[in-house]
Chain A
């Protein structure tokens, strides 16, 4: 098969880096509001009926939304196998906590309203809050750690060794900058979830969502700004000694990396990327305004823009790095050294080009069919199909 030579290895790698961004942002924009709304559950909904309203805003869509996460994982596996192998085994116990959230979320949705017992229901409500808040927090912590660099190295036959004992590896993730990133991430998804609830609910629930959502938006603004300052003054970046060959074999050990300098140097080299943090600030600020006194659709819309800007800013700032190593910088993974082969990237690109637009089209159709508010009357109607 020579078809794949239509696109050079370098271009394919770049395209896959973009697709990875699309999938992660797609995950944050769709499942992000499920996680945020679940985290808000006890704050915005006081009675059982109110809680069922909140749960039923997500009921028909969270399953499809979660596939963005699964697909993100699949895409990392297929397009960046070294990244998949090293990050998931390195963040082992943290990943396990995220997995627990994802194990319990589907069952909590499905099982919560299947029994009348209030104890049973409040137990599952707690599970839902855990399943929404924990991943939101930990994904941010993970991103913070990526920017700081993580302690791993590769043996000559590319076995990944992550330093530290079982708990050292877990608690080692909780460095101050990473915790700040976790807080920003949690607040960001809470803001997004509030935007969703403003759109899908009415009355007291929507009013509370506006209140908590706008507070979260302020936390995002402050935390994101603080993280930017922190990056400028207190965090070392990574850089290649000589630029790696963009079409070379995927073997990080063939290139030398130094640890030092500032990530913000990227803004000198590629000034246009400043648009990403700007969108992050503008989107979040506008989401704050819209949550305080805007229409029903605008909070969700603006928070989407803010999230898009913030996630892109991380990717663009650390480009071409994906996962730097702070103990053995030469083992660092980047777009040029940690992808699948030319042929795999091409085959996967063809499949993505066909199916991703289809997915977006039918997802849009499903949201259109389900358009409208979820009301208390609907969920209490015995003939309804709600949770």
Chain B
């Protein structure tokens, strides 16, 4: 196993996934926000809502194109860079991916074209249905992708088949209704709604500060703040649900998030901040909140949460058990037809730990020849890098709280204070625009970097999952991706800014009676234009 290939494959996947994930949350949320705006348009018949729908739709389109472009890369990377992974778990993992195409992406992609080109060809109602189909399609896409990802975090409904040397599906129902997948889905989709809401809120605030497109901006803030507040609250609640599931299923990830080296007596405290030191296995300058971790991780005050050191010991045990399974598997492999029942029984008894034995493949071809040091090393490998996960988690949670506060503030001001937003609040909302993306990327790091050294938790180590490629091929494609993506990113941002500056094409604000009625309440800056 060439470690260079493993590291480069991981880097490439992380880069392309994080990049794809810049466009996904906005697509998820904006498709719904636009459908809501168009619904108001169809119900009230007021042109301003049509203008809003079209304006945000233009920005949606620019973003959507990038989402599609980078999404295609994701699907094909599994086969290109992770071919042993694809062979090993394709029987289970391929299904939700194909279903995403079949049920969701086809819907979204077929109707997104009609949505843009169909304004004059469809009745208002039919066009609205198309808008909702696009929104439903993009949200269903997320569902299937997260079912696939959820299975990697918590592999259920599958077992190893020694004859085909791969995992095979035993229950599609379990894969689909995997609790981890469901919690991740709602968490991620809500995060997308927050992203779009903060984006709409920020851009609209900028218009208000500039005194332009007031009617559009004010109504957009109304929609974005109320929708955004509901979404921001659900992100936190469902993030907590995700934390609980992690506590049940990925104890090492939870311990890393918490930088909890030793098992604490229940209920464990939550470390607010601190500096995790992986070498010394301690967290310096830690500030604790008593009981909180116990509540998040176990929903009780009496259950213990195991620390990293204890989990490492358990991993060593599982490696030894996995070696028994591996030995039996090799016997089965040698004589496929006439293996005696005892060997098969031994294999089945230990097959849950087979993945742990595969951790040793990083060091030697036949894990059965591993020395005690190598076993200890492989057990230590099960500890992810703590500090990035620890900090990514805290940044994500902190930003989440900030989104609740911001959308809450705008919601209250819109509903009860007649929309008299002070300048500082508008400026803050503009500055906040990039924050949801930071939070989303941090979330990805916690979930995926925190899963290492596994591609499929406890089943298949990352180091074993790669394709038999050369470093040259990987460096070449890595450089090309980096170049393409940088160029496209610059173009995308420029175009978005151009269209935001330009504003809606047909400005209907002066003909709209809403302004006339509410003009008295507008600030002097707004009335000026």
Restricting to B76-90, which residues have a CB under 8 Å from any CB of A?
Answer: 76, 78-81, 83-84, 86-87, 90
Restricting to A69-124, which residues have a CB under 8 Å from any CB of B?
Answer: 69-71, 73-75, 77-79, 81-82, 84-89, 92-93, 95-96, 99-100, 102-107, 109-111, 114
Q: Which of A66, A103, A254, A355 contacts B109 (CB 8 A)?
A: A66
Chain A residues packing against B (C-beta within 8 Å): 1, 59-64, 66-67, 69-71, 73-75, 77-79, 81-82, 84-89, 92-93, 95-96, 99-100, 102-107, 109-111, 114, 156-162, 165-167, 169, 249-251, 254, 340-341, 343-344, 347-348, 351-352, 355-356, 359, 362-363, 366, 369-370, 385-386
Chain B hits for A95, CB < 8 A: 76, 79-80
Q: A82-B87, A102-B73, A344-B169 are in contact. List 16 more A-B contacts (CB 8 A).
A: A60-B118, A70-B75, A71-B105, A74-B75, A77-B98, A81-B86, A88-B78, A89-B80, A107-B69, A114-B499, A251-B165, A340-B168, A341-B161, A348-B98, A362-B107, A370-B114
B42 proximal to A (CB < 8 A) = no
B65 proximal to A (CB < 8 A) = yes
Q: Which of A69, A79, A351 contacts B94 (CB 8 A)?
A: A79
Restricting to B467-483, which residues have a CB under 8 Å from any CB of A?
Answer: 467-470, 472-473, 476-477, 480
Chain B residues packing against A (C-beta within 8 Å): 61-62, 64-66, 68-70, 72-73, 75-76, 78-81, 83-84, 86-87, 90-95, 97-103, 105-107, 109-114, 116-119, 121-122, 161, 163-166, 168-173, 333, 336, 467-470, 472-473, 476-477, 480, 484, 488, 491-492, 495, 498-499
Q: Judging by beta carbons under 8 Å apart, are A111 and B65 in contact?
A: yes
The distance in angstroms between the C-alpha atoms of A137 and B8, with both chains bound, is 29
| Total CB contacts across the A-B interface at under 8 A | 253
Q: Judging by beta carbons under 8 Å apart, are B73 and A158 in contact?
A: no
The distance in angstroms between the C-alpha atoms of A159 and B2, with both chains bound, is 14
Q: Judging by beta carbons under 8 Å apart, are A249 and B164 in contact?
A: yes
Within the complex, the shortest CB–CB distance from A16 to chain B, in Å, comes to: 11
17 A-B pairs whose Cβ atoms sit less than 8 Å apart in the complex: A71-B101, A74-B97, A74-B98, A77-B86, A92-B80, A92-B469, A102-B69, A103-B72, A105-B69, A107-B491, A111-B495, A114-B498, A158-B87, A165-B472, A166-B473, A341-B168, A366-B111
The distance in angstroms between the C-alpha atoms of A62 and B87, with both chains bound, is 31
Q: Judging by beta carbons under 8 Å apart, are B84 and A85 in contact?
A: yes
Q: Judging by beta carbons under 8 Å apart, are B109 and A67 in contact?
A: yes
Within the complex, the shortest CB–CB distance from B109 to chain A, in Å, comes to: 4
Chain B hits for A347, CB < 8 A: 95, 169, 172
Q: Which residue of B lies closest to A74 (CB)?
A: B98
Within the complex, the shortest CB–CB distance from A146 to chain B, in Å, comes to: 15
The distance in angstroms between the C-alpha atoms of A84 and B66, with both chains bound, is 25
Q: Which of B90, B173, B492 contacts A81 (CB 8 A)?
A: B90
The distance in angstroms between the C-alpha atoms of A106 and B116, with both chains bound, is 14
The distance in angstroms between the C-alpha atoms of A166 and B118, with both chains bound, is 47
The distance in angstroms between the C-alpha atoms of A249 and B166, with both chains bound, is 11
Please list the 6 inter-chain residue pairs (A to B) with the smallest Cβ-Cβ separation, ordered nearest first: A81-B90, A88-B79, A78-B94, A64-B110, A74-B98, A60-B113
The distance in angstroms between the C-alpha atoms of A88 and B62, with both chains bound, is 29
Known: A89-B468, A107-B491, A370-B117. A77 touches B73 (CB 8 A): no
Q: Which residue of A lies closest to B471 (CB)?
A: A166
Chain A hits for B79, CB < 8 A: 73, 77, 84-85, 87-89, 95
The distance in angstroms between the C-alpha atoms of A66 and B75, with both chains bound, is 13
Q: Judging by beta carbons under 8 Å apart, are A96 and B65 in contact?
A: no
The distance in angstroms between the C-alpha atoms of A66 and B101, with both chains bound, is 11
Chain A hits for B102, CB < 8 A: 71, 74, 351-352, 355-356, 359
Known: A73-B75, A77-B97. A343 touches B113 (CB 8 A): no
The distance in angstroms between the C-alpha atoms of A74 and B141, with both chains bound, is 13
Within the complex, the shortest CB–CB distance from B175 to chain A, in Å, comes to: 9
Chain A hits for B92, CB < 8 A: 344
Q: Judging by beta carbons under 8 Å apart, are A85 and B98 in contact?
A: no
Chain A hits for B78, CB < 8 A: 77, 84, 88
